[in-house]
């Protein structure tokens, strides 16, 4: 049986058509980034995409559409109950969001549009599109609206914590710890594989400021911009660290600290590493880690 999301009105909501569209799209993109980024951040998937022939890429695209359609039918990324052929359209939209997300990531990393042939772009996008579009398609489950701190389940740790009325300082500490935990989770899946060394070689140094900007933008989107868990509550909460900009920066800084620590723990940087090497590896690793850090903040 299909169950309509809690408190979700049926579309179209009068007067909120465009903001609903924007919220759904950004929420889907953020979810797509969270699920797809480990695959996107694997240099083997880039090389596999390089060797793909265009027809193979189209086959992967068709397979990704079929998987996305199934996920959109059962979960979806849109507000309200969908019907009939709307699922087909939603799956196309999820696929398009995944394409746009991958174009943005690969462009920022200097892997497409920097003298590479169009077939390389198509191959790389085709290899990475399935996890990203699936991430978009399950946004309602992964980043459910009005969950967590606003309406936590009975017995949920965050519900019990809320009942104790934490002070601002304590809450800020909890949120920082949650960000660090999210970043740590992501770092521990990437750093031991040593893909980072190959990615560091492949990404032009001049692109690193763009990587930082995209990291901050996605982090902001995950926590604030798309009507996720507790968004309204976050915008209302007073305190110097409870502004959208400050929370985004704090999440990013938490990710940077965790990245540095994990890189050092696994011997990817040491006292003989140059400042440029440390900077490059940390900024690149903080790209996926900051998204996980932002997701971690939603848990408290």
- Cα Rg for the chain, rounded, in angstroms? 20
120 binds other proteins (CB under 8 A): yes
Task: Pick the binder of other proteins from 72, 105, 109, 121 (CB under 8 A).
Answer: 121
How far apart CA 168 and CA 238 sit, in angstroms, is: 8
137 binds other proteins (CB under 8 A): no
Site string for other proteins, 9-38 (x = CB under 8 A): -xxx----xx-xx---x-------------
- Burial track 250-281 (b if 16+ CB lie within 10 A, e otherwise): bbbbbbbbbbbebbeeeebbeeeeeeeebebb
4 binds other proteins (CB under 8 A): no
- State the minimum distance, in angstroms, from the CB of residue 86 to other proteins: 8
Task: Pick the binder of other proteins from 8, 38, 116, 249 (CB under 8 A).
Answer: 116
189 binds other proteins (CB under 8 A): no
Task: Return the closest-CA partner of residue 68 out of 88, 89, 84, 91.
Answer: 91
- Site residues for other proteins, 47-106, by CB under 8 A, read 47, 50-55, 57-58, 61, 80-81, 83-84, 86, 89, 92-93, 95-97, 99-100
123 binds other proteins (CB under 8 A): yes
Determine the 3-state secondary structure of 254 from DSSP: helix
- State the minimum distance, in angstroms, from the CB of residue 242 to other proteins: 31
119 binds other proteins (CB under 8 A): yes
Torsion over CA: 146, 148, 154, 159 (sign): negative
* CB nearer other proteins, residue 39 or residue 103: 103
Residues 268, 186 contacting (CB under 8 angstroms):
no
How far apart CA 299 and CA 174 sit, in angstroms, is: 10
Task: Pick the binder of other proteins from 66, 117, 217, 246 (CB under 8 A).
Answer: 117
Distances (CA, A) of 128 to 100, 141, 169, 191, 216: 12, 21, 40, 20, 22
* CB nearer other proteins, residue 122 or residue 142: 122
How far apart CA 228 and CA 221 sit, in angstroms, is: 9
How far apart CA 282 and CA 200 sit, in angstroms, is: 10
248 binds other proteins (CB under 8 A): no
181 binds other proteins (CB under 8 A): no
6 binds other proteins (CB under 8 A): no
Q: Which residues bind other proteins (CB under 8 A)?
A: 10-12, 17-18, 20-21, 25, 47, 50-55, 57-58, 61, 80-81, 83-84, 86, 89, 92-93, 95-97, 99-100, 115-123, 125-126
């Amino acid at each position: 049986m299909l169950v309509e999301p809690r408190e979700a009105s049926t579309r179209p909501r009068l007067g909120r058509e465009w903001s609903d569209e924007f919220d759904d799209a950004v929420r889907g993109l953020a979810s797509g980034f969270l699920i797809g980024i480990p695959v996107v951040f694997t240099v083997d998937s880039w090389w596999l995409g390089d060797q793909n022939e265009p027809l193979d890429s189209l086959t992967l695209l068709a397979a990704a559409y079929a998987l996305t359609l199934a996920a959109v039918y059962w979960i979806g990324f849109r507000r309200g109950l969908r019907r009939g052929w709307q699922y087909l359209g939603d799956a196309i939209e999820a696929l398009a969001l995944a394409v746009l997300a991958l174009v943005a990531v690969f462009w920022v990393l200097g892997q497409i549009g920097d003298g590479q042939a169009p077939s390389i772009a198509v191959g790389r996008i085709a290899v990475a599109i399935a996890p990203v579009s699936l991430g978009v398609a399950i946004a309602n489950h992964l980043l459910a609206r009005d969950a967590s701190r606003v309406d936590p389940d009975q017995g949920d740790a965050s519900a019990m914590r809320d009942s104790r009325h934490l002070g601002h300082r304590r809450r800020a500490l909890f949120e920082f710890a949650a960000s660090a935990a999210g970043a740590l989770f992501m770092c521990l899946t990437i750093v031991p594989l040593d893909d980072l060394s190959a990615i560091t070689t492949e990404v032009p140094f001049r692109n690193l400021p763009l990587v930082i900007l995209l990291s901050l933008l996605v982090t902001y989107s995950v926590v604030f911009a798309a009507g996720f868990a507790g968004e309204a509550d976050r915008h209302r909460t007073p305190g110097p660290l409870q502004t959208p900009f400050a929370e985004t920066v704090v999440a990013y800084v938490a990710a940077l600290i965790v990245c540095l620590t994990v890189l050092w723990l696994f011997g990817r940087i040491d006292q003989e590493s140059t400042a440029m090497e440390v900077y490059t590896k940390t900024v690149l690793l903080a790209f996926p880690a900051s998204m996980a850090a932002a997701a971690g903040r939603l848990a408290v």
